[in-house]
Structure 1
Amino acid sequence: MTADAPTRSPGPTTPAARALAPDLARGFMLLFIALANSHYFLTGPSVMGGYPQNGSGLDAAVTWLISTFVDGRAFPMFGLLFGYGVAQIVRRHEASKPRAVRRLLWRRSAALVVVGLLDALLFYVGDILAAYGVLLFLGAWAVRWRDRWLVLTALAFFVLTSLPSDGSLVISLAGPDAAMLPPDAGTMVAERALVALFVATLGPLGFMCPFMVGLWVGRRRILEHPERHRMLLGVTASIGISAAVLGAQPVSLMLAGVVTPPNQPTLELLGSLHDTTGTLGGFGYAALLALIAARLHGRRRPVIDAIAAVGQRSMSCYLMQSVIWAVAFTPFLLDLSGTLGVAGTALLATGTWIVTVVLADRMRHAGHRGPFETLVRRVTYGPRALARTSDPAGDARRSTGP
């Protein structure tokens, strides 16, 4: 090839070339996403942190489990994995000009924003895809930054989001509003439009720290080669998860009804502690799942591959959850928000995730990508690049190595 010959975009990664650890982490964490989202639909005479305070002993136990291990812990991990994926895209296009890479990322950003806003309007107003799209639009300028600036930016946003405030969801006394539980279709669209724009605009502030860390980790391919970084991953998993569990206890015990809520200034401090340690927990979960992926190298693993198939189709499976929430909780549909308790919504969330695992695994065996993954890749790379990198049988025979 001559020096002035045009180069073709390498396109998206084929299924056979994907690493296990990031897909396994995405797939497993979608269970946590379902558990974290579903209880916010519940109503009752007294609600705190999205949990009705008049439930049974079983509800209290499930509340403690979810608020300790799930709430505020899954989304930071997804932010890290999102940044990691962006770093992979940039690495595959390292021979391209920075402007060309930014345009490619901006096309991906536009697809996420459009799909996310539609999901927020029609199904689940708390959708975060649009926020990720806005984050990518801004983060496209950071993909070429030096490591030092990535780390400093991550640290700055970590400190910013750790400041005490009354905005933490885990200490909110508000129940679901008309945007979450609209009485009719007209109210649904009207109420959700502003909320969706608000989440898309301010959401990136909360995801910026994990995103920057994900870019840094992705440059070093730590999740793709976990066997080379066992010490780092082990320390991160131990410290991150321990901090998340211990830091959640003041709020978790309060939500479970074990201790009495303190005054407002103290409550804001405890909410900040819960959220801040949750970010560390998200990093710890990602590290732990990477270590599990390294340990499973070369073994027969039908269940693990099925969960990884969800991770490969995380956007489609996430949107499937939104449809379930809409059908189950919308007042003019099944209207279960006043019927189910915390344990009931946890069971619904787990069942929904299991259904996505089964469907994703069937698509894996059939050699099909998720429909929304195909859409985003088509918008990002164009139909020609997508055709060049398609591997219908590769998903079923995906490499077991990282």
Structure 2
Amino acid sequence: MSTPVLTAPAALPVAERSLAPDLARGAMLLLIAVAHAHMYLSYDDAGFRGYALDGAPLDRLVAGVQILFVDGRALPMFAALFGYGLARLTARRPDPAEARRVVRRRGLLLLAFGFAHALLLFFGDILAAYGIVALLFAGMLRRGDRALLRAAALTIPLHVLVLALLGLATVTGGHAPSPTVIADPLEAVGMRLAVWSAMTPTFFLVSALPTFFLGVWAGRRRVLDDPAAHRPFLRRVAVAGIAIGVLGGLPLTAVDLGVWAPADGVSIGAYALHSVAGIAAGAGYAALAGLFAARTSPPGRVARALAACGQRSLTCYVLQSVAFTVIFTPFVLGLGDDVGDAAASGIAVAVWLSTVLVAVALERAGSRGPLESLLRRLTYGR
């Protein structure tokens, strides 16, 4: 029996996309930028989240803000939006077998893109983890609500276990230097791939799973496609999720800033709690983006710019890594040896704004991002 040919009409035209998911992706890329920039810096010693312990007061202040509001929050938000997008993709295809083929093909391509990203640019790639999620759980996209919510709940203990083991490794062995500070380009490639291959199936994958399933659940209800109709629900998720994220992040923030020095076991527990609370915060941030979209009808200039960036999130995400590699690594400009966490975050904001401007220029030219075009071409054919 022949395999059905996947054709281009399966790709959703840009004009038919909903505002809120794209706006959320655009804002999420800011969180990703500031979460990644400090990973390019050299340091003598670092805390659980990789911030230098000997930074200037402003550096420590910025580190504390980011630990509390950014670190471990952007990745779950991305996972929720990824699950939401796959749920909508599946809903547009009445043939379940075809839907699974499309999702798994996209997952395989994201895995390949992630490998290339880690090989050439950044060890902290998250594309491959989402590719693995799509490959493993394409069949879950048509399961019942109870199965999705059960899967989300059951993956949280796995998340805690992995984070506890990573925390134990940090306590016993210290925070390993970032591969981005290696001066030899070939040695840096090997180290990037080694760290990426270890982190992708563990930390990145288990961090994505709970909110991925919640995103699929929300996608079935089109919560972000019509956020005005779901405003009370979105408000509850935003308030509760962000509050849990802040409260659950306070202990680790105190530990990493040196304000609190508990026993190692308590520190590891604070590290795991911070990450689990980030699951709630990621969902809360996605809901907050939906509320913002519901208030901007028709969308203003800022909302349109964020949505343009979100529509080209793959291209903008990789452009961030290109910029950081040029700016920070020792074999290009080498600023990773000279700046602290505060300056790195300022640079990250500037880089993100630059990608937004690129996305707006592509929008005005009527063009998708180049990586989005490549992904769609490889997924659906001409």
Give the TM-score, by structure 1 length. 0.89
Deviations 1:363-402 (A, max 9, x none): 111111000000111111111xxxxxxxxxxxxxxxxxxx
The answer on whether the counterparts of 2:8 and 2:381 sit within 8 Å (CA) in structure 1 is no
The answer on whether the counterparts of 1:50 and 1:169 sit within 8 Å (CA) in structure 2 is no
* Aligned pair partner of 2:100 in 99, 102, 123: 102
* Aligned pair partner of 2:121 in 120, 123, 143: 123
Tell me whether 1:194 sits opposite 2:212 in the alignment.
no
Tell me whether 1:310 sits opposite 2:309 in the alignment.
yes
- Counterpart in the other structure of 1:135: 133
Tell me whether 1:57 sits opposite 2:65 in the alignment.
no
Q: Within 2, Cα distance between the matches of 1:70 and 1:168?
A: 19
Q: Within 1, Cα distance between the matches of 2:271 and 2:186?
A: 35
Query: Structure 1 residue 168: deviation in Å?
Result: 4.4
Query: Structure 1 residue 93: deviation in Å?
Result: 0.6
The unaligned stretches of length 5 or more in structure 2 are: none
Query: Structure 1 residue 320: deviation in Å?
Result: 0.3
- Counterpart in the other structure of 2:212: 211
Q: Within 1, Cα distance between the matches of 2:206 and 2:57?
A: 36
Q: Within 2, Cα distance between the matches of 1:296 and 1:40?
A: 35
3-state SS of paired residue (1:165): helix
- Counterpart in the other structure of 1:29: 28
The answer on whether the counterparts of 1:40 and 1:175 sit within 8 Å (CA) in structure 2 is no
- Counterpart in the other structure of 2:80: 80
Q: Within 2, Cα distance between the matches of 1:224 and 1:284?
A: 16
Matches within 5 A, 1:1-400: 10-48=9-47, 49-94=49-94, 96=95, 98-163=96-161, 165-168=164-167, 173-177=174-178, 179-202=179-202, 203-257=204-258, 259-299=259-299, 301-383=300-382
Distance 1:375 1:254, change over 3 A: same
The answer on whether the counterparts of 1:171 and 1:267 sit within 8 Å (CA) in structure 2 is no
3-state SS of paired residue (2:10): coil
Q: Aligned partner of 2:256: which letter? A: L
Query: Structure 1 residue 175: deviation in Å?
Result: 4.2
Distance 1:169 1:355, change over 3 A: farther
| RMSD (Å), alpha carbons | 2.0
3-state SS of paired residue (1:127): coil
Q: Aligned partner of 1:42: which letter? A: L
The answer on whether the counterparts of 2:315 and 2:372 sit within 8 Å (CA) in structure 1 is yes
Distance 1:283 1:50, change over 3 A: same
Give the TM-score, by structure 2 length. 0.93
Query: Structure 1 residue 325: deviation in Å?
Result: 1.8
Deviations 1:302-335 (A, max 9, x none): 1210111110000000000111121122222222
Q: Within 1, Cα distance between the matches of 2:6 and 2:312?
A: 29
Q: Aligned partner of 1:227: which letter? A: A
3-state SS of paired residue (1:143): helix
Point out the structure with the larger helix share: 2
Q: Aligned partner of 2:190: which letter? A: A
Deviations 1:336-367 (A, max 9, x none): 22211011100010000000011101111111
> Identity of paired residues, percent?
40
